[in-house]
Structure 1
Amino acid sequence: MAESLDMFHRAKQRTFSGLTRDAEHRWTGPFYFIQAADPQLGLMKAWKDGNCDGGGDEWTEEVELTKQAVEAVNRLRPRPRFMVLCGDLVHSMPGVKAVFSGHYHRNAGGYFDGLDMVVSSAIGCQLGEDTHGVRVVVVTADGVVHRYHSLEQLSTAGMDEDLRALLEA
């Protein structure tokens, strides 16, 4: 465990000790990835209203632009190796019932004053006993239902049947 924790302390002075010329000397061919930033849901309305400290109670424009970005990236050929989304994800959270995050590298969360904080474990390095996976989140008119799925389960069986049934209702 100590060795895996040390992995997160290897970045120093704009270098990463695991990414050396000796370790990465084999080139496997060109590739590309997509870097996107700052969907910042809610900022466009807040900016237009002149209330950037508050406001932002509508996300319509940013959601449409984000959909446009995803659709454009999905059409690219050859497909990018991966996509990284950086920066501010939200400006404000109108009517939010749950906040989903990562970075803890294990499943966790809590509930306070009507807000569910959901921390999903990692696709990559695990710091607990959770399997490598993703969280499936189903949003209906009645609420939000979410469950963590291992990559193996998702690949072989897909999402749980009860979650799939919610989409058909």
Structure 2
Amino acid sequence: MCFYFSSLFACFFSPFCEPPTARGERYKENLTFVSSSREAETRKKPNGHDAQQPTRPLEEHKTSTMEEEQQQQQQVNLVEASKFRIRTSDRRHLDFDQEYDLNDTRAAQRSRYSGPFHFVQAADSQFGMIDSYVHKRTEPGWSEEIELCRQLIDTCSQMEPKPLFLIVCGDLVDAWPATDVRRRQVIDFKRIFARLDHQFDIPLVCVCGNHDVGDEPTMDGILEFKQTFGDDYFYFTKNDVLFIVINSQFYQHRLNVQDYAKEQDDWLEGLLSKCKLFKYSIVFEHIPWFLSHFDEEDDYFNIKRQVRLGWLRKFKDAGVTKIMCGHYHRNAGGWFEGMELVVTSAIGAQCGSDASGARIVKVMDQTIEHQYYAMSEIPKKIEFTTN
């Protein structure tokens, strides 16, 4: 601003600071320039009238106005997105029981089971996939995903009782790491989901998917996710339930991150040893170990058998109650020796006959029940009657 006014000052007042002779010469030059300009304009117009000052076309004005409005909206979006809070630290989600020794079943920080409660499991909000995959648009937007997520958040806010948390099991956005589209999708994801915690006091739990860290993850992609959403694997406890969140992409491809993936393996095996100290234990991840049968053929949507069977055995022997996943964009699932694996369809784009929606999971004294609902059919009054 100072530069602008100093330049303006020099433009208007510097001639008056010159010596009189110099001012006289400049004045003559100006008269000559003005006279020549008017003669040229007279030659162009037969009637001799001066040409009118050209005006900016209406289209250019509209474009400028639209750009200004877009810039203003971008600033609003950034402010709203800034309300999003990263709620994990040191491999633990901070919105539940305070940190304690999981071996200490009598720790004061450890909350006991005090009656039925529920949470909402969703997956694959994947901002941008509806336009790119369903509508086949070359420059996809994500307004449909935004609206679906708004509906889900509004429904959760009206539930009685309130859900313990909402978890999104991976593929939060569609664009790959380190792209400008990804950055814009993340801003919109954050500004939409910030309302859940900021306005309605419902914790959000974010699981990383293949689109969040890359099909062949690198440390750069993982670091980007952690800086944006928090830890890629972590745990929390509440109401005598151990909840474990893992980065399933390491069981698809770990070539670029072998040491880091091994850290998760060791951490996970240590945590699995605590499962039998809790009433229930639930594992959340993006990619399912299997879709319908634990011994099924390898597929893009499951984890290869040579990796799958070993980890299923570890989960079962540890006493894991359920494994809950996304990735398939359809509802599916099956059992491994009495341990259930649940595959939940997407908030966003569908690859099958299911409608966009989410799953209500009821944690009761003797059992855990769950049901998937289309977005418009998710109940707001949660009943805890056993079937």
TM bin (shorter chain): 0.5 to 0.7
What is residue 92 of structure 2 aligned with on the other side? 39
| Alignment partner of 1:103 is 2:249 | no
| Contact preservation (8 Å) 1:134, 1:150 | yes
Query: Within 5 A, what are the aligned runs for 1:74-93?
Result: 83=204, 85=206, 86=231, 87-89=233-235, 90=244, 91-92=271-272, 93=275
Give the superposition deviation at 1:98. 1.6
Structure 1 Cα separation of the partners of residues 346 and 355 of structure 2: 8
Query: Within 5 A, what are the aligned runs for 1:53-132?
Result: 61=109, 83=204, 85=206, 86=231, 87-89=233-235, 90=244, 91-92=271-272, 93-94=275-276, 95-132=319-356
Structure 2 Cα separation of the partners of residues 123 and 143 of structure 1: 26
Structure 2 Cα separation of the partners of residues 39 and 117 of structure 1: 23
Q: Give the alignment partner of residue 148 of structure 1, picking from 359, 364, 372.
A: 372
- Give 3-state SS (helix, strand or coil) of 1:164's partner: coil
1:129–1:84 CA distance, 2 compared to 1 (3 A):
same
Question: Any gaps of 5 or more consecutive residues in structure 2?
Answer: 1-69, 113-164, 166-193, 207-230, 236-243, 245-270, 277-318
Q: Give the alignment partner of residue 385 of structure 2, picking from 157, 166, 169.
A: 166
Give the structure, 1 or 2, with the largest relative contact order (CA under 8 Å, sep 6 or more): 2
| Alignment partner of 1:27 is 2:74 | yes
Give the superposition deviation at 1:33. 1.0
What is residue 133 of structure 1 aligned with on the other side? 357
Deviates more, 1:91-100 or 1:36-45: 36-45
For residues 53-100 of structure 1, what are the alpha-carbon distances to aligned partners after superposition, in whole Å with 9 as ceiling and x for unaligned? xxxx99995779xxxxx7xx99975669x9453423423233432222
Question: Any gaps of 5 or more consecutive residues in structure 1?
Answer: 1-23, 49-56, 65-69
Query: Structure 1-normalised TM-score?
Result: 0.52
1:36–1:153 CA distance, 2 compared to 1 (3 A):
same
1:27–1:59 CA distance, 2 compared to 1 (3 A):
farther
Query: Structure 2-normalised TM-score?
Result: 0.26
What one-letter code is carried by the residue in structure 1 that aligns with 2:74? W
Larger Rg: 2
- Give 3-state SS (helix, strand or coil) of 1:152's partner: helix
What one-letter code is carried by the residue in structure 2 that aligns with 1:88? F
1:97–1:34 CA distance, 2 compared to 1 (3 A):
same
**Root-mean-square deviation (CA), in Å?**
4.3
Structure 2 Cα separation of the partners of residues 109 and 127 of structure 1: 16
| Contact preservation (8 Å) 2:325, 2:343 | yes
Structure 1 Cα separation of the partners of residues 107 and 354 of structure 2: 33
Give the superposition deviation at 1:45. 2.5
What one-letter code is carried by the residue in structure 2 that aligns with 1:112? F
Residue identity over aligned pairs, in percent, reads: 25
1:43–1:102 CA distance, 2 compared to 1 (3 A):
farther
Structure holding more helix per residue? 2
Structure 2 Cα separation of the partners of residues 77 and 107 of structure 1: 30
